[in-house]
Copies of this chain bind each other. A is one copy, B any other.
C-alpha cells in the first residue's frame, strides 16, 4: 500500500433526486446525520476538528450564498474551521482531496468533507445544459455543456469507429445499475432504441446520452490512519490522490479524443498508490455524457486508446465484468449534483470495498472485490480542464 496517512471511517448520503421540499440547510443536516450513522462504532461529533464543504451552483446562480460556516453552524459544530471548495464538476472530489491533505498535514486528526447541490431549483436558462453560457465572453458564451463534449464524440467516432450504439450502451448499463441502487435518482431501465428515440440535444447526443439534473448531498468522515480502529473495524484507506488540469480553451487543447486532465490525475493517483489500472475492481467515473465514460475507460487505462467503444460493447465495464464501472448508476442514472457527486462516488466505493453494506441494499449490485482497490473520477469545470482521481483500498 502506498500512502498510509488517511482512513475513511464513515460515509453517508441522501437518496439523489428532486428535493424541492428541502433547503440547503436541511440537506446538509441530513447528510451529516447520515454520515454519523455510517460510522460503525459511532463517533462523538466533538471529535470532528475541521470541515470542507463543496458546493457549486447555488452561489453561481445567486440563489444561495454559501461559505464554510454554513456547514459548521447547521450541524452544531460552530467553531471548527470549514473551507468552501468550488471547482466545477470535480467540486465534491476536490473537497475530499483537500480534507485528506488537512488530515495528512498533521493539523487535524478527524475531519468531515460534505457536498451539497440543488440543481433542480432554477429556471431552465440556468440548467446544466445551459450553464456553459454563463461567464467567460470568449470561452463560454453560447458553449453549453453538451456542445463542449460533443466534439470529443464526433472525433472519437471518426478516428476509432466508435458508434452511437456503443455510446448508448453506456446509458443502458448505467440505468440498469441505477435500478439496483436505492440511492439512484432514476430507477428505470432503458434500451438502445430508447436512447435513439429520445430528443436530440446536440448531435451525437440524444437526451438519454446526458446525465439528468439532480439534487443531492453526501458526506465522508476521515481520520488519521492510525486512529481508524477507534471508529470502525473496516476502515477504507486513501491510497492515491491525483488532480490534473488542462488548458481551458478548445484551441489550446492537444487532443479531442481524450481528456488530458483525467490522464494526469490518474497518473498521479496510480503512482501514489503504487498500483496500475489492472488492480482496480470497481470504479465510479464521470459519465456526464455517454462519450465521457468511453473516454474515461481509455484515459484511466482500463483499455487501450480507441478501444473504449468495444470495452462497453464486450460488457467489460458491467458488474461482473473486467472492472465494474458505475455500479451506483453513475452520473447518468444516480445523478450529478456537482458539489457532491465526487463524495457520493466515494460513498459508493467505500460500501463496495466494505462488502457488508451493499448486500443489505441489493446483493445483485455488490461487486466482487478481488484485488482490493477502487477508483473515483471526475472531470469538468470551465473548458473540461479539471480532473480528480482518488484511489481507495481496504
Write the residues of chain A forming the contact surface with B, with a CB cutoff of 8 angstroms. 5, 50, 59-70, 72-73, 77-88, 94, 97-98, 100-102, 104-107, 131, 134-136, 140, 241-249, 252, 260-261, 264-265, 268, 381-383, 385-386, 388
Contact = CB atoms under 8 A, between A and B. Distances in A.
B135 A65 contact: yes
B248 A386 contact: no
B135 A81 contact: no
Nearest to A248: B73
A60 B66 CA distance: 10
Contacts of A80: 244-245
Is chain A's binding surface mostly helix, strand, loop or mixed? mixed
Nearest to A268: B81
A85 B83 contact: yes
Given A67-B88, A134-B65, A241 B107 contact: yes
B83 A97 contact: yes
B381 A68 contact: yes
Nearest to A252: B73
B84 A245 contact: no
Nearest to A55: B86
A245 B98 contact: no
Given A67-B87, A69-B261, A81-B268, 12 more contacts: A64-B136, A69-B245, A69-B247, A69-B381, A79-B264, A100-B105, A101-B101, A101-B102, A101-B104, A104-B105, A104-B106, A104-B107
Contacts of A100: 105
A338 to B, nearest CB: 11
Given A65-B134, A67-B86, A244 B79 contact: yes
Contact of A385 (B50, B73, B86): B73
Interface centre among A80, A82, A242 (most CB of B within 10 A): A82
Contacts of A94: 68, 83
Interface centre among A82, A86, A268, A383 (most CB of B within 10 A): A86
B68 A386 contact: yes
Contacts of A131: 65
A236 to B, nearest CB: 18
Contacts of A64: 135-136
A391 B379 CA distance: 36
A66 B139 CA distance: 11
Given A78-B247, A86-B59, A264-B79, A67 B252 contact: no
Contacts of A84: 85-87
A69 B107 contact: no
Given A60-B62, A104-B107, A79 B134 contact: no
Nearest to A385: B69
A73 B251 CA distance: 12
A73 B247 contact: yes
A34 to B, nearest CB: 21
Contacts of A87: 67-68, 83-84
Contact of A82 (B66, B78, B245): B245
B86 A382 contact: no
B107 A101 contact: yes
A91 to B, nearest CB: 9
Nearest to A24: B136
A252 B136 CA distance: 39
A272 to B, nearest CB: 8
Contacts of A381: 67-69
Contacts of A60: 59-60, 62, 65
